[in-house]
Amino acid sequence: MKKKTLHPTLSQVAREAGVGTTTVSRVINGGHRVNPETLARVRKVIERLGYMPNQAARTLKGHRTKTIGLVIPSIADPFFSNCAEAAQAIARANDSLLMLTVTSNDPRAEMENLDVLIRHRTDGLLIVPANSQSQMLRELLERVAVPVVAIDRPVADSSIASVVCDNFKGAITGTQHLIDHGYKRIVCLTGESTLYTIRERMRGYRKAVEQARLSCIIDTSVKDYKSAEYAIKSLLDGPEPPDAIFATKNSTTIHAFEVLQRLNIPVPQSIALLGFDDFELASTVRPPISVIQQPVEEIGRRAAEILFDQLLDERGTGSPATRHPLQVKLQTRLIQRASCGCTPPTP
Amino acid sequence: MKKKTLHPTLSQVAREAGVGTTTVSRVINGGHRVNPETLARVRKVIERLGYMPNQAARTLKGHRTKTIGLVIPSIADPFFSNCAEAAQAIARANDSLLMLTVTSNDPRAEMENLDVLIRHRTDGLLIVPANSQSQMLRELLERVAVPVVAIDRPVADSSIASVVCDNFKGAITGTQHLIDHGYKRIVCLTGESTLYTIRERMRGYRKAVEQARLSCIIDTSVKDYKSAEYAIKSLLDGPEPPDAIFATKNSTTIHAFEVLQRLNIPVPQSIALLGFDDFELASTVRPPISVIQQPVEEIGRRAAEILFDQLLDERGTGSPATRHPLQVKLQTRLIQRASCGCTPPTP
DNA sequence: TTCTGGCTTGGAAACGATACCACACGAGCG
DNA sequence: CGCTCGTGTGGTATCGTTTCCAAGCCAGAA
């Protein structure tokens, strides 16, 4: 049986080194104002015992926990996992750990997760709100004594900092691009209509289409391959079949693409396709799919940066904490590939 | 200015409710052995003050931190993000938080991350070792008073629990499948040769190829599109061009596929392709790509389950902790699609 | 010589929760 | 009537660290 030694404490180190706890404390906090010889001796004991400070005790004594909480709908989704990766990097650069929780967009799970994170007294909170309108969420976040930054979706009617994309403008750009190609009957395909991001994209689509005096065709039933197939077949068999598809999110784009491919409907000859949110193989499939690209990594990074700025402000002098733009809106980018009818330059 | 109230403490609740701290403690821990009236009164005060127990204090008093650490190479990689998602779910089911850190397969970053996690006294550790052979890692993990489960890659020469895939057998199955199709010159494409998983897969490839008395062709230079293009062109222009590719990992498979497509080399007519590790669009691209599939979600789940079992054992009676299989090896599955020459049943 | 001041150093009080122990009180029993 | 027992309750030491305060020491100034 490997007999594992429990964690030695600071006092044990002190006793072993023949000094007081104060001195050891000073040593592990940089060793300032400690006699070089004492320093070396204590360091040796620390090394020998494999001493590692107990963060819980430090925290208790009034210090930060050196952790931040991240609350996201899913880790498996590339959009969020890339956000998380960026946030993690910033946390690490600030000597903090990331506590990760997932909500599956369920407000109840979200509240529970926040509850646990707050019990753990994370220094800050990054959250992708399941429901931008939730009053419970807003109240909790405003009541709690912790800096918060919302990611991807703002918290309505609050002064909570947020980093989101300009989904509205992005959707306009995408839809307008299809219009510029001469498509007349553009359908907006989606599987959601409650999420903030999706609503914004639908709003953008509607705006562009109405401005061009085209008809507004929206199908909100696309949740998987099956439903996509049904929706697209119905649409194409209808009296006025669409000649282009604007898909409001990643999975919708993919499902639509799979259906068109399975049905042997040539893209973009019979129907064009443009999706919101880029994905790894978008440029590999045939035809390559045109998309509105979001600065995924930047979203996570900026959010985390703002959070740590807030932490610094809090700690520092009573200077105005409003130094930072609290509502960041990042711009999207149209990536022209072939599915919209473009002949993109061969890279 | 929104004046945020700091966190109230247990004693404040006690004072406010006119009871002792002991009673409040009992209330928040289930309310057993407390007079119903007192219980209600204290609960009301807790509600009013928005009291939330301080986990750091609880931890200090000898309890668990209710956190586990996860150390992975990357979050953006779908394989690991799916592992992480599964592990997170188990952690949550066990009322624990996940502390997430990423290493980019850098042993130094790995040691640093472990250091931080240990300072935080996570109750357990899940780790995807950057280097299975690392002696420093093994020593640290064996010395530390924390249960550890290795994921995807074992820690060599140690009794540390692990959950990995049978990469060797999987690679044999895949290679053998190509052999069964009649391919004679199968090249193994890879971009790594240090990682445990890749080495096992190469070992499997070699075994199958040698057993069939075919020549063993290995190219370890495929790191991105550029290098893949160079490698494949060289191979095809060589004296004895390969008729099949066995790619040892996800990104290699994709790069190879992109090159073949760009070069207009028909798959599988001119050259067949089979990859290790499934990915979302493998069945969508044309031709659909055959792969060896790993039970990704199960890896993360099992690892976390074993970890929590160990935690329970530790806490419980001195019963033999060897109740669980400590070295779990999960089997892979061949998914026949079209890129290997199969005509899979239309789903 | 005595005093001032910079370095080192240690004692001990917090931080917030838990749990051991003790105590009060009324009921049931011999 | 005195005893035990069970229920409800509170006092207080404790976990491991930081930090305030004080003190010891020696050099240089007065």
Strand C and A153 CB separated by under 7 Å: no
B273, B317 contact by CB (below 8 A): no
pLDDT for residue A43: 98
A344 touches chain B (CB under 8 A): no
How far is CA A201 from each of CA A328, A338, B165, B324, rounded to the nearest angstrom?
17, 22, 42, 50
* pLDDT digit string, tens, across residues B292-318: 999 999 999 999 999 999 999 877 544
* pLDDT digit string, tens, across residues B118-159: 999 999 999 999 999 999 999 999 999 899 999 999 999 999
The closest nt to A12, taking CA to C1', is D16
Query: By mean pLDDT, which of A201-205, A292-296, B60-64 is the weakest?
Result: B60-64
Bridge partners, residue B161, by sequence: B149
Residue A261 with chain B: CB contacts under 8 Å: 284, 286
* pLDDT digit string, tens, across residues A105-126: 999 999 999 999 999 999 999 9
What is the distance, to the nearest Å, from the Cα of residue B158 to the centroid of all Cα atoms in its chain?
A: 19
Q: How far apart are CA B259 and CA B225, in angstroms?
A: 7
A55, A66 contact by CB (below 8 A): yes
pLDDT category of residue A62 using cuts at 50, 70 and 90: confident
B209, B243 contact by CB (below 8 A): no
Q: Do B7 and A60 touch (CB under 8 A)?
A: no
Question: For testing the chain A interface, which of B60, B88, B257 should be mutated: the one with the most A CBs within 10 Å?
Answer: B60
* pLDDT digit string, tens, across residues A76-96: 999 999 999 999 999 999 999
A93 touches chain B (CB under 8 A): no
Secondary structure E strands in chain B: 67-72, 97-102, 124-127, 148-151, 161-165, 186-189, 217-219, 244-247, 272-276, 290-293, 327-330, 333-335
In chain D, which nucleotides are within 7 Å of a protein Cβ?
A: 7-12, 14-20
User: Residue B2 pLDDT more than 60?
Assistant: no
Q: What tokens appear for A66 in the block? A: 């050196």
pLDDT for residue A325: 62
The closest nt to B21, taking CA to C1', is D10
User: Residue B38 pLDDT more than 90?
Assistant: yes
User: Residue B75 pLDDT more than 80?
Assistant: yes
pLDDT for residue A121: 97
B143 touches chain A (CB under 8 A): yes
pLDDT for residue B246: 98
Strand D and B310 CB separated by under 7 Å: no
CATH: 3.20.80.10, 3.30.70.270, 1.10.260.40, 3.30.830.10. Which one for A10-53? 1.10.260.40
- What mean pLDDT comes out for the span A314-332? 70
B85 touches chain A (CB under 8 A): yes
Q: What tokens appear for B321 in the block? A: 């902790």
* pLDDT digit string, tens, across residues B267-283: 999 999 999 999 999 99
The per-residue DSSP string of B298-340 comes to HHHHHHHHHHHHHHHHHHS-S--GGGS-SEEEE--EEE--STT
Residues 53-82 of B with CB under 7 A from strand D: 57, 60-62
User: Residue B344 pLDDT more than 70?
Assistant: no
How far is CA B62 from each of CA A15, A129, A157, B56, B58, rounded to the nearest angstrom?
22, 35, 42, 10, 7
How many angstroms away from the CA of B119 is the closest CA of chain A?
A: 5
Among residues A245, A250, A228, A240, the alpha carbon closest in space to that of A177 is found at A245
The pTM of the full predicted model, rounded to 2 decimals, is 0.93
Strand D and A35 CB separated by under 7 Å: no
B250, B275 contact by CB (below 8 A): yes
DSSP 3-state of A334: strand
- What mean pLDDT comes out for the span B98-107? 97
* pLDDT digit string, tens, across residues A131-149: 999 999 999 999 998 999 9
How many angstroms away from the CA of B257 is the closest CA of chain A?
A: 9
Strand D and B29 CB separated by under 7 Å: no
Domain ranges of chain B: 10-53, 67-159+297-330, 167-294
Question: For testing the chain A interface, which of B9, B67, B139, B281 should be mutated: the one with the most A CBs within 10 Å?
Answer: B281
B61 touches chain A (CB under 8 A): no
DSSP 3-state of B273: strand
A120, A110 contact by CB (below 8 A): no
The closest nt to A7, taking CA to C1', is D16
- What mean pLDDT comes out for the span A249-255? 96
Tell me which architecture the domain covering A67-159+297-330 has in CATH.
3-Layer(aba) Sandwich (3.40)
User: Residue A1 pLDDT more than 70?
Assistant: no
DSSP 3-state of B21: helix
pLDDT category of residue A227 using cuts at 50, 70 and 90: very high
pLDDT category of residue B320 using cuts at 50, 70 and 90: very low
Q: How far apart are CA A303 and CA A280, in angstroms?
A: 23
Phi, psi dihedral angles at A339 (to 5 degrees): -65, -10
Strand C and A65 CB separated by under 7 Å: no
Residue B65 with chain A: CB contacts under 8 Å: 56
How many angstroms away from the CA of B262 is the closest CA of chain A?
A: 9
| Burial letters A80-104, b for 16+ CB under 10 A, else e | bbbbbbbbbbbbbebebbbbbbbbe
B324 touches chain A (CB under 8 A): no
Q: Do A121 and B280 touch (CB under 8 A)?
A: no
- What mean pLDDT comes out for the span B309-332? 75
How many angstroms away from the CA of A179 is the closest CA of chain B?
A: 28
User: Residue B4 pLDDT more than 90?
Assistant: no
**Chain A / chain B CB contacts < 8 angstroms:** 156
- Which H or E element spans position A260? helix A250-262
Whether A167-294 and A10-53 are alike in CATH topology: the answer is: no
Query: By mean pLDDT, which of A19-28, A216-225, B311-320 is the weakest?
Result: B311-320
Which CATH code is given to the segment(s) B167-294? 3.40.50.2300
* pLDDT digit string, tens, across residues A272-290: 999 999 999 999 999 999 9
- What mean pLDDT comes out for the span A325-334? 93
Residues 177-196, chain A, touching B (beta carbon < 8 A): none
A158 touches chain B (CB under 8 A): no
The per-residue DSSP string of B137-165 comes to HHHHHHHSSS-EEEESSPPTTS--EEEEE
Q: How far apart are CA A88 and CA A336, in angstroms?
A: 31
User: Residue B3 pLDDT more than 60?
Assistant: no
* Residue A274: other Cβ atoms inside 10 A: 30
Q: Angle, to 10 degrees, between the axis of helix B78-93 and the axis of helix A78-93?
A: 80
User: Residue A323 pLDDT more than 60?
Assistant: no
